[in-house]
Homo-oligomer: A and B are copies of this chain.
Amino acid sequence: MSTTPAATPDTASQQPPPPAHQRSWLVPSLDWLLIFVPVAIALRFVPGLENQTALFIVSCLAIIPLAGWMGRATEHLAEHLGQGVGGLLNATFGNAAELIIALFALSKGLDGVVKASITGSIIGNVLLVLGLSFLSGGVKFRKQEFNRTAASINATALTLAAIALVIPSVFHQAAAIVPVAQGGWTPAKEHSLSLAIAIVLIITYCLTLLFSLVTHKELFVGGQSHGMFAEVGKERTEAEEHGVGWSVKKSVIILLGATALVALVSEFLVGAVEGARETLGLTEVFVGVIVVAIIGNAAEHSSAILMAMRNKMDLSLGIALGSSLQIALFVAPVLVFASYLFGKPMHLEFTIPEVVAVVASIIIVEQISSDGESNWVEGVQLLSVYAILAILFYFLPDAHHAAAAASDVMPAATPAHP
A interface with B by C-beta (< 8 Å):
1, 142, 149, 152-153, 155-157, 159-161, 163-164, 167-168, 170-171, 173-175, 178-179, 181-185, 189, 193, 196-197, 200-201, 203-204, 207-208, 211-212, 215-216, 283, 351-353, 356-357, 359-360, 362-364, 366-368, 370-373, 375-378, 380-382, 384-385, 387-389, 391-392, 395-399, 401-402, 405-406
Q: Name 15 A/B residue pairs within 8 A (Cβ), A-sorted.
A: A149-B372, A157-B378, A159-B364, A160-B381, A163-B363, A163-B364, A167-B392, A168-B392, A171-B395, A173-B352, A183-B397, A193-B395, A208-B381, A211-B375, A216-B377
Contact A384 B200, beta carbon cutoff 8 Å: yes
Name the one of B181, B196, B375, B391 contacting A391, with C-beta atoms under 8 angstroms: B196
Secondary structure type dominating chain A contacts: helix
B283 engages A183 (CB within 8 Å): yes
Bound CA span A215–B152, Å: 28
Most B CB contacts (10 A, CB to CB) among A173, A185, A351, A402 go to A402
Q: How far is the CA of A356 from the CA of B392 in the complex (A)?
A: 19
Identify the interface centre among A200, A378, A388: most chain B CB within 10 Å of its CB: A388
Count this chain's copies in the assembly: 3
**A241 CB → nearest B CB, Å:** 33
Residues of B within 8 A of A362 (CB): 363
Q: Given B364, B395, B405, which contacts A160 in the complex, CB threshold below 8 Å?
A: B364
Contact pick for A208, options B149, B167, B185, B380, CB 8 Å: B380
Given A171-B353, A174-B353, A382-B160, A370 and B152 contact (CB-CB distance below 8 Å): yes
Q: Given the complex, which residues of B lie within 8 Å of A216, measured CB to CB?
A: 142, 375, 377
Q: Are A170 and B353 in contact (CB under 8 A)?
A: yes
**Separation of A377 and B211 alpha carbons in the complex (Å):** 7
